[in-house]
Every structure is written in C-alpha cells, then in structure tokens.
Structure 1
Amino acid sequence: MPASTSAAPRPVAPKRSAVRSLLRLWPYLRPVRGRFLAAAFVAVVASCLSLVIPLVLKWMVDGPVAGRDPDGVWLGALAVLGLGVAEALLFGLRRWLVARPSTRVEASLRADLYRRLQRLPVAFHDRWASGQLLSRGTTDLSLLRMFLVFPLTFLFVNGVTVLAGFVVLLAQDWSLGLVLLLPVVPLVVGCSLFETRYSKAARRAQDQVGDLTTLVEESVLGIRVVKGFGRHRSQARAFRVLAERLRGTELRKARLLAAIWAFITTVPELAIGAALVLGTVQVADGELSAGTLVAFLSTALALRWPVESIGFLLAMSQEAATATERYFEVMDQAEETADRAPGAVATAADRAPGRDAPGGDVPGGVVFEGVTFRYPDAPEDSPPVLRGVDLRIRPGETLALVGATGSGKTTLTALVPRLYELTSGRVLLDGEDIAEMPRERLRSLVAVAFEEPTLFSASVRDNVLMGAGPEAGDAELRRALDVAQAGFVADLPRGARTEVGEQGLSLSGGQRQRLALARAVVGTPRFLVLDDPLSALDVHTEALVEAALREVLRDTTALVVAHRPSTVLLADRVALLSEGRIAAVGTHQELLRTSAEYAWLMSGTGDGKR
C-alpha cells in the first residue's frame, strides 16, 4: 500500500489540564485578541440585557398591570421588545467580530503545521501514518475553529451572566436566591467527572478518525492493487471494523453528553420548582409582591440556557483541548538537525558541470568516511544498516552501487542529500562535510531520482522543473525530456502543460520513471544520485535512455544504484555493498573475475532487488 498502515505514536501522558493545553494557542490568538475581547464584551452586554427584561416585567406587574394602566403596559411591552431586538443585534455583531479572526487563526495553525511537516526529518514520516497527519490538519483544526467561535467566548460570557443573574436574584429575595444556589455543589462535582471521562473519549475518537483516514487514503491510492487482487471485500471489512469502533466511541461521547445534559437540566429545574413553591407561599402570605415573584422566576428561567449549556461547552472545549494536544504532538517534534555552519545558496559556479576533472589524486568528489547508520526508531541492540562504509567517488566519475536485498544501497544513497542523519562518520562533497552545509545549498548541488517515482497533481512541466532553480525554463525542460527519452510528452493532450493527476497514475510506470529522471537531470546538478532509475523501462527505451544519460553523467559526479548489467555499464567503477559494508570496488570486469558474490548478482540467478 502507498501509505503506512501503522498508527501514529500515541504517548500516554500524565493527567493533563484542558486549560493548560488550550493556553498553547495563545501565540496564535495574541494578534487578534482585540477582536475576541470586543466580541466577549458585546456578548456580555447582550446577555445582561436579557436580565433587564425580568426587571421590566416586575415594574409592569406591580405597576401598570396592578393599577390597570393600559398605557403603562404598552410602554413596558415596547421596552421588552426593544431589549430583545438589541440583544439579537448584539449577538449578531459578536458573530461578525469573531468570524474573521477565528478563520485567520485556523489558517495560521494550518500553515504552521504544513511548514513543520516539510521540515521534519524523513524518519518522522516513516513512523507516522499519513491519515493521522491529515486528520490533524483538517478535523482537529476545524474543532479548534469551532472552539474559538463559540465556547471560548461563551464559557466566559455565560459565567459572567450567571454571576450577574444571581446578584439580581439575591437582590430581589435572598431566601429564594439561596434556594437556587443549592445546586452549585452537585453541578461542579458532576461537571468535573464529566470532563475527565469525556476528554478520554474525545481523544480516542480523534485518534480513530486518523486511523480511518489512513485506511481510506491507502485504499484510494492503492485502488489498482485492491482491484487487481480482488481485495475489496477485505478492505471493506477493515473499514467496517474501524468505522464501528469509531461509532462506538462517538456513541459513548453521546451518552456522556446526554447524561451531563440531563443532570445539568434536572438539578436547576428542581431548584426552580422549589423556589416557585416557596415564592408562591410568600406571595400568599403577603411577604412578597407578585411582580417580584414574576421577575425572580423570569430571571431564573433566563439563566437556564447559560447553566444548561455548560455541558455542551465543556464537551466542545474538551474536544478542542485534545485537538490542541494532537496538533502540538506534531509541532513539538524536532525538525531536521540544524546546520552546523553558515553558508550561501549554491551559485552558478557550484551548479556548473565539470568543475573538476576525474583523477585519482584530485581532491573533491563524494567521500564516505567511516559511515555508520542505524534508523532512529530501530532497537538499540539491533545491528546498524551501514557499518563503517569507506568509499570515494572521484570528481566527474560515475560509480555503480550493487548489492543484494537488504544490503543498504538505498539507505546509503539517502545519506548524500541528508534525508537521514548519520549515526557516525561523515560524507564529504568536494571536500566539504555535508553536515556543515546549509540544506538549501546541499540540495541544490545534489539531485536525486528514486526507484519509486513520485509525481504531484500538477503539469508535466511543473513536475520536471521542480528539480531546477527558479530561473529554469522551456530550454532546460526540453533538454531534460530528451535525456529521459520522454518524447511521449508531446503526444499528451496539452503537451508539457498536461496535468498528470494524483501520483501520476494517469501515466504508465515507465513514463513516470522517465519524468522522475528528467526532474533529476534538469538542473545540471554537480552531484547526481540515481536509485535504479531504469527499472520500469523496456529494453529498447532503456538503451535510448542510457545513451542520452551517458552524456549527462560525463559532466557530473554520480552514484547509481544498479541491479542489471546494462545499468552497471554506465559506470566507470562499481562498488559492491554487502551486509552494510563495502566488500569490493573495481570495474565491472574486475569484479566479475575477483568477486563471487558480484558475479552471482550479475548472473541473473541472484536477487536483483534491494
């Protein structure tokens, strides 16, 4: 399958604080804090207007209604209507105030996540499932935007509204107000228990969304394999298992939310009922006016939504907190190690071919000195993939790298552009340690073509010129396509401007490989690393590509992973890599005579794959 099926690492941290997690968003909120504070102020004013309506009702009942004054009743009704309209307008203004900054924060979070993904080492992407990363950049960030739009404001606004409401209640009648304060303790305890349980369910659901996303992505990208082997039923079963698992978690979240909602609704309702009974008795005894009781109950009912929404707001906040955790799990990953020395971007002289002539004693070329490498996530007691590799590729020379499966050929080639960091030893390019070269300069000097060509959803032109500097144009494009024998491009519907589609699957394997080779040579690189670049070509096309490639290799220093004698013959010398070490170096004919392993590999009876 095209993507890893393993889930992303999920470290189990000690009990976390949702507030502490959400506070990590502050750097993104700081530039727009004025809009959010203005929105909170507007929402507080709007909510407090709803508390003025009961006071108007009290005046109406004890005044115009009791005195049978129609004009007073109409005045009170207009006042209530005006307060309601003002409240609606203010809430609309609040929504307008938070719309732009919330989307700005989401865009900044998404841009930073994408930027970090580009800068994380290849070893990170080897470990993490692509679906987990996709879900963090889509679902999780949508949850954060929803949190900024609603719960962030209303947790504060509703808290202020409830406090102001209880001040009004206690001012009207302290005994009835104390009755409504009785549910506070059970509500606090219940919300605390809900928060703990819901946070675990929310995290589990978000991780399961990532797993499901990974499966869907793999099934779509690998649809040819799924159909070719008739595995659609097994993939469907795997999808159902993950979907049912996610459904179960979502149902648990729904049950928790229903329970807290019922609890938060029932307890205050009981208190309001008790206050109604007690207030009615006081009105009957003449200790309380009817208008005060109406105002009191109207205020209590106005506070129902701020209180009942606590569960809903806490649930959204918990989901936002877990989304924040998942987001910063990626953002906290260490980027590629910093360059140890400053440097400049490659100049035209750096990129010019043939700067040094081949020669045994001429300094330069590519040098591997005591290179040892173990993958970062490999067990400490496991043997390294490469074990003290010493190898020299002279300036302008082409060296073929040959070895059996698992010998470390592809790993060795990945070290030249620093896709991985060495465990020990060093790699020199023209006498300069690559660990001390800025990556921008290093990767402008080194061009690569991998065994499995990757194309992007862009035009042929854009895919090929990705391997060149911004100054490259049609002349460089035509030259690269000629070298790669990619004449088929002219027959595409729009020529070089034809969109190749996702992964370039609209092209054949050989066509994709030729475009990948064109991308590698388009920038006339000083150093060229080719990982079996001709494996998908037929023998006739291979011969044409080899003839054109010889012209390119004459002017560059190249390391070519080879599995077939025809590719080996492109090289000046051959290095045999065996069990992570260089076992022999020489010409093709020399190694055929002196190395039984090399002769076996080249005979066609050995395993020619890596």
Structure 2
Amino acid sequence: MESEPKRGGLASIARLGPYLRPVRGRVIGSAVAVLCSMICGLTIPLVIQRILDGPVATGDTGGLVWLVAAVAALGATEAALFFTRRRLIAGPSTRVEANLRADLYAHLHRLPIAFHDQWQSGQLLSRAVSDLSTIRRFIAFAGIFLVVNTLTMVIGLGVLFFLDPVLGAITLACALPLIVICTRFESKYSVLSRRAQDQEGDLATTVEESALGIRVLKAFGRGPELARRFAAQARELRGTELAKVRVLALLWGAIIMLPELGIAAQLLVGSLGIANGTMTVGTLVAGITVAVFLRWPVDSIGWLLAETNQTATAAERYWEVRDAEVTITDPDSPKHLPADGAGLLRFEDVRFAYPSGAEVLAGVDLEVRPGETVALVGPTGSGKTTLTALVARLADVTGGRVTVDGVDVRDLPLAELRTAVATAFEEAVLFSASVAENVRLGAPEASDDDVRTALRIAQAEKFVDGLPWGLDTRIGEQGLSLSGGQRQRLALARAVVGRPKVLVLDDPLSALDVQTEAEVEHALRSVLSGVTALVVAHRPSTVQLADRVALLEGGRITAVGTHTELLAANPAYRALLSTLDNERTSV
C-alpha cells in the first residue's frame, strides 16, 4: 500500500495542536531554555573580543579575571539550560505519543468491520508504533531545534554584523544559497520518506502474516517462497532508504561546504583588515568564533528538515486512519429494550449493499421467535454471514430494519445491544491471555462460577480442567496451542457467558467432530432454552437440531419451515442439503 505524499504535510503536523495544548507550557519552556542557552553561547565570543582587545592587547590584566569568570559562567549556564530543556520536554513528548496512540487504538475499535477488511494489519501497526515515535521525536527535539536554530542563525548574523558588517555579509552570502538548496531537496525527500514508511508497513504485514501462518507455511513448504518475498520487500525498502541517504548526502555536502567557504573568506578578509588596521584581532577571533558556533545550527538544518518531512508524512498517515469515518455509532436519541422482552428477532425487508453498489441482501423478511433456534442455510455467497452481522450492528442495513423485541437495533446504545446479542464466529479468534480472560471478553463482570457454567454449556470444562493451570492457563497467540475444536468451544463459551437474549452463531462449530457438535447444540438447547438463536449452518447435523430452517437465495428468504417440511417440499433445499452432506462426507 504505497502512496505519494499529499500537499499540506505541515498542516497535518499543525492538526496535532489539540494533543499539544495540555503540554504547551512545557514545550514553550523547553524552546525558551534552549534559545537562552544558544544566546549564552553567542555572548561568549563578544566577551572573548573584550579580552583580546582589552587586557591582552593593552597588557593590563586587572580585569581579566572577571572576563574569564564571565565566560565560565556563560558556559555553565548554557549547559544548565540544555539540561533544563531535556527535563522539561521528555515527559510531555512521551505523554503526547501515548495519548495519540490511545486515541488511535480507541478509534480503530470504533471503526466498522468494512474498514478493517480494507486495511492490512501491518500498515495499521506501523502507524500506531513507528509513525507515532517519529512524531514524538519531532516534538521533543526536531521541532524545537528547527525553530531555535533558525532564530540562532538570525541572532548570530546580527552579532556578526555588529562586530563587522563585512563578516556578517560574508556569512549571509553563504547562507542564502542554503535556502534554495534545502527547498529543492525537501520535495524529493518528502516523496521518498512517504514511500519508505509505506514499505515499512508492507514489510510488517508480511512478518505478521508469516508468524501467524507459520503452520500453513511449514505444512506446504512455502517458507522459502515467503522468505523470498520478504527479501524482495526488504530490498525495495533498502533501495528507498539509500535514495533518501543520497538526497541527504547532497544536502549535507552543500550545508557543510558553504559555511567552510564562509569561514575561509572571513579569515582572508579579517587578516587583510588586521594588516591594514581596519579590524582588530579580537573582532576577527570573535567573528570566527561566532561562525564556528553557527556551524551546528547550520549543519543541523538539513537533518531537521528531513525529520520535519518524515514527521509530516507520519502525521498524514496517522490522520488517514484517524479521519476514517465512524459509521456505526450510538443513536442521538437512544431507546432501550423492554424489561420483559424475551428476545424476539425480526428482519423486516432488510437490504444491504456494499459501497461499490453490489447488493447482497435484497429484501429479507424473517422472524426468530423467543427461545427458538433457526438455522440459516444457503449457497456460498448468498449473504448468510452478512445477515448475521446486521444483528449486532457489525454492519448496518442499507434498507429495511432489524429489530430485537420490537426495537430497531440502530436505536439501541451499542453497549446495550451487544450485551443483549452475542456472536460466535466461524473463525475462533482467541487472545494471548488466560482461559478465564478469554471467556470473560463476553462478560467482563462474570464470576468464576459463570465462566465454568459457560464452559460446561460449550462442552469445554473437561479439557480446560486438564490444562496445567485450569482457568488460569495462558493460551498462545490466536490460541494456536489448542486444537481447532478446543478453540471453537472456548469461543462459544465466550458468547454464552453473559446469558444474552439473542445468540448469533456464524457456523462456529465447523472444527468440531459430529459427536461434540451434537453435545454442544444439545447443551445450548437445554440450558439456554430462553435464548433466541440464529445459526448459520453448513452441516446437515446442525440443521436437524434447529427448530426451523430458513433458506437464503438471491438475497431473499425463499423458504422457511422445519427440516422435514423443507426436505419434502423444496427441491432447492434438498439440492443444497445434498451438497452439504457430500462436502461433510468428503471431509
């Protein structure tokens, strides 16, 4: 995922203002401290001039002690102010980084599933980690010194003109070309900086996918192929970084060469001035000292501009995600589920189309009565998963409505809706945490007894008790230390632990054997008899356990009835069930 930098990169940095407002005093204080330290450094050459043209030239050493003491005091003050700058800015800059990261993380959770389907996880990871670290470095160092060093160069030129207009003019003549050179190379570096950051995101995606899919890669012997892809991406990133180095090398060459030429010209003019009596030794030494002092501000400009460009790119990449629209939000005037509601689920002329215009659901009407289990079947691509996603508002309808106990799900607060409606997905996603913590994701306030009840319902209690530390056993990333059936049962326990009114199961039993699947279904039916259940079924055995079956074809429910009724009266259902049975037998 690579793109060129947008115009207005500095505007992206400026948009960070609200995050800087709480620490603005510290940032300004840090800038003032470093500016005062620079002024102390620029004052030292003036004192040196007084020493050389005063006590040294006249041989009167009476006032020498005080002048030398002044130089020492200025040097000590300069060091103390630099220390103060770092103490002032270190904490606030990391606090801004933490706030930006927390805000981005929270925003990612608010964004709809459709957003995450379009973005690589590595790209999001690079924005949340490396890009925000770049912004922190800019706040703590580059941004402050870009301003302070510019002011220092202006003040230093003023000091040179005060000492001798010719020395000032020489330095100014060497500084002006730097502005042109920096402006020219800035645009080139911006393009390369954005390209490198995007390539880092692609590289992070490859590493993450390889780590998560290591079993598949090993099983099919595709490790070397992925290694070659990784090496190719790494070479591309290396090439971009080397291109950045070449641009910076040319810039640094000019930045270093021009001040050196200026110092040489000052020595020539100053030596001639001393020879013909138009300039004193103190003035020349002071002028050269100021020019040498200005080397750091001048030499740093190229690096500071590069850091500014990288920060502008990082800010653009941050705002690309942060500005993504949150389309699923709490209603302005929320309603609430009736206290005596039993979980009546209705789909009323439900339609859904992707932003591209492709329509998946074209008017679905279906009622799932309280305590009833309805199996949703249909050919691949018929929209079964999309229909189930609409219940908990993982996506929103584009027409019609979905209601729970007569209340449109879009009128309910999201927290209340997702407490009343629990979902278990086909792919059992677990986290690097204990068994109990994974189950409690479905109900954070659940007690150990509640967790054990949910595990018992999901037929998972026995294998959990067999783990080394029972409920406290930490499972590996994505739960890969468990079997597929164990992962699915933990995901199912997570869905039922909060005792929801409506349970949506998107074929979460795909990794279970037939016997275990029947046990889980039986437990659900017997223990949670008051729960409304909508189950996407890909197995004939699951279909037979449902009270009713709904056939989804062409974006509509074309038939509803018991398994026996549809099997006897609906040819399309018989054909579909035969296909499912064949697939099951082949497995």
TM over 0.5: yes
1:260-409 equivalent positions in 2, closer than 5 A: 260-343=251-334, 349=339, 355-356=341-342, 365-376=344-355, 379-380=356-357, 382=358, 384-409=359-384
Q: Is the 8 A contact 2:90 2:140 kept in 1?
A: yes
Name the CA shift for 1:438/1:30 in 2 (closer, same or farther; >3 Å): same
| Deviation at residue 577 of structure 1 after TM alignment | 1.0
> Distance between the aligned counterparts of 2:452 and 2:24, measured in 1?
52
Equivalent of 1:557 in 532, 539, 542: 532
- What TM-score does the superposition give when structure 2 sets the normalisation length? 0.96
**What CA deviation, in whole Å up to 9, does each residue of 1:265-285 have, x standing for no partner?**
112221221122111111100
Q: Is the 8 A contact 2:335 2:411 kept in 1?
A: no
Task: Letter of the 1:298 partner, please give it.
Answer: T
| Deviation at residue 57 of structure 1 after TM alignment | 1.5
> Distance between the aligned counterparts of 2:378 and 2:349, measured in 1?
19
Name the CA shift for 1:191/1:213 in 2 (closer, same or farther; >3 Å): same
Q: Is the 8 A contact 2:274 2:280 kept in 1?
A: yes
1:43-54 equivalent positions in 2, closer than 5 A: 43-54=34-45
* More deviation, 451-460/269-278: 269-278
- Quick check: 1:467 aligned with 2:446? no
Q: Is the 8 A contact 1:212 1:239 kept in 2?
A: yes
**What CA deviation, in whole Å up to 9, does each residue of 1:252-272 have, x standing for no partner?**
111111111111111222122
| Deviation at residue 606 of structure 1 after TM alignment | 5.3
Q: Is the 8 A contact 2:346 2:403 kept in 1?
A: yes
Q: Is the 8 A contact 1:406 1:579 kept in 2?
A: no
- Matched position secondary structure for 1:288: coil
1:395-434 equivalent positions in 2, closer than 5 A: 395-434=370-409
- What TM-score does the superposition give when structure 1 sets the normalisation length? 0.92
| Deviation at residue 74 of structure 1 after TM alignment | 5.3
- Quick check: 1:476 aligned with 2:455? no
Q: Is the 8 A contact 1:449 1:520 kept in 2?
A: yes
Equivalent of 1:591 in 562, 566, 579: 566
| Deviation at residue 532 of structure 1 after TM alignment | 1.4
Gapped regions of structure 1 (runs ≥ 5)? 1-6, 357-363
Task: Letter of the 1:444 partner, please give it.
Answer: T
1:527-538 equivalent positions in 2, closer than 5 A: 527-538=502-513
* More deviation, 507-516/591-600: 591-600
Name the CA shift for 1:606/1:541 in 2 (closer, same or farther; >3 Å): closer
Q: Is the 8 A contact 2:431 2:477 kept in 1?
A: yes
Task: Letter of the 2:182 partner, please give it.
Answer: C
- Quick check: 1:135 aligned with 2:126? yes
- Matched position secondary structure for 1:417: coil
| Deviation at residue 78 of structure 1 after TM alignment | 3.9
Equivalent of 2:150 in 159, 171, 183: 159
> Distance between the aligned counterparts of 1:329 and 1:77, measured in 2?
56
**What CA deviation, in whole Å up to 9, does each residue of 1:116-147 have, x standing for no partner?**
00100110000010000000010000001110
Equivalent of 2:484 in 498, 509, 533: 509
Task: Letter of the 1:148 partner, please give it.
Answer: I
Gapped regions of structure 2 (runs ≥ 5)? none
| Deviation at residue 571 of structure 1 after TM alignment | 1.2
Q: Is the 8 A contact 1:484 1:518 kept in 2?
A: yes
| Deviation at residue 301 of structure 1 after TM alignment | 1.1
Residue matched to 2:18: 27
1:478-497 equivalent positions in 2, closer than 5 A: 478-486=452-460, 487-497=462-472
| Deviation at residue 553 of structure 1 after TM alignment | 4.6
- Matched position secondary structure for 1:416: coil
Q: Is the 8 A contact 2:336 2:407 kept in 1?
A: no
| Deviation at residue 439 of structure 1 after TM alignment | 1.0
* More deviation, 246-255/593-602: 593-602
Q: Is the 8 A contact 1:98 1:149 kept in 2?
A: yes
Task: Letter of the 2:507 partner, please give it.
Answer: D
Runs of 4+ that moved beyond 6 A: 344-347
**What CA deviation, in whole Å up to 9, does each residue of 1:567-597 have, x standing for no partner?**
1122111001123221211110011111222
Residue matched to 2:225: 234
Name the CA shift for 1:534/1:551 in 2 (closer, same or farther; >3 Å): same
Q: Percent identity, please.
A: 56
Q: Is the 8 A contact 2:110 2:328 kept in 1?
A: no
| Deviation at residue 332 of structure 1 after TM alignment | 0.4
- Matched position secondary structure for 2:268: helix
**What CA deviation, in whole Å up to 9, does each residue of 1:522-550 have, x standing for no partner?**
11110010111222112232232222121
Q: Is the 8 A contact 1:600 1:606 kept in 2?
A: no
Task: Letter of the 1:316 partner, please give it.
Answer: E
Residue matched to 1:446: 421
- Matched position secondary structure for 2:97: helix
> Distance between the aligned counterparts of 1:12 and 1:254, measured in 2?
19
Q: Is the 8 A contact 1:22 1:324 kept in 2?
A: yes
| Deviation at residue 367 of structure 1 after TM alignment | 1.2
Q: Is the 8 A contact 1:601 1:607 kept in 2?
A: no
Equivalent of 2:110 in 119, 127, 142: 119
Q: Is the 8 A contact 2:372 2:532 kept in 1?
A: yes
> Distance between the aligned counterparts of 1:553 and 1:561, measured in 2?
18
- Matched position secondary structure for 2:533: strand
Task: Letter of the 1:404 partner, please give it.
Answer: P
Name the CA shift for 1:196/1:238 in 2 (closer, same or farther; >3 Å): same
Q: Is the 8 A contact 2:5 2:191 kept in 1?
A: no
| Deviation at residue 194 of structure 1 after TM alignment | 1.6
Task: Letter of the 2:368 partner, please give it.
Answer: I
Q: Is the 8 A contact 2:274 2:281 kept in 1?
A: yes
Task: Letter of the 1:276 partner, please give it.
Answer: L
| Deviation at residue 183 of structure 1 after TM alignment | 2.4
Q: Is the 8 A contact 1:169 1:177 kept in 2?
A: yes
Equivalenced residue count is 583
> Distance between the aligned counterparts of 1:220 and 1:410, measured in 2?
27
Residue matched to 2:216: 225
Residue matched to 1:359: none
| Deviation at residue 73 of structure 1 after TM alignment | 5.0
> Distance between the aligned counterparts of 2:331 and 2:103, measured in 1?
24
- Matched position secondary structure for 1:66: helix
> Distance between the aligned counterparts of 2:288 and 2:325, measured in 1?
58
Q: In angstroms, what is the RMSD of aligned CA positions?
A: 1.8
> Distance between the aligned counterparts of 1:59 and 1:224, measured in 2?
76
| Deviation at residue 601 of structure 1 after TM alignment | 2.4
- Matched position secondary structure for 1:150: helix
| Deviation at residue 605 of structure 1 after TM alignment | 5.2
Residue matched to 1:523: 498
- Matched position secondary structure for 2:58: coil
| Deviation at residue 76 of structure 1 after TM alignment | 4.1
Q: Is the 8 A contact 2:544 2:563 kept in 1?
A: yes
> Distance between the aligned counterparts of 1:506 and 1:113, measured in 2?
30
Q: Is the 8 A contact 2:203 2:233 kept in 1?
A: yes
> Distance between the aligned counterparts of 2:13 and 2:380, measured in 1?
48
**What CA deviation, in whole Å up to 9, does each residue of 1:278-334 have, x standing for no partner?**
111111000111111111111111111111110010011111111011001111011
Name the CA shift for 1:142/1:60 in 2 (closer, same or farther; >3 Å): same
Q: Is the 8 A contact 1:404 1:607 kept in 2?
A: no
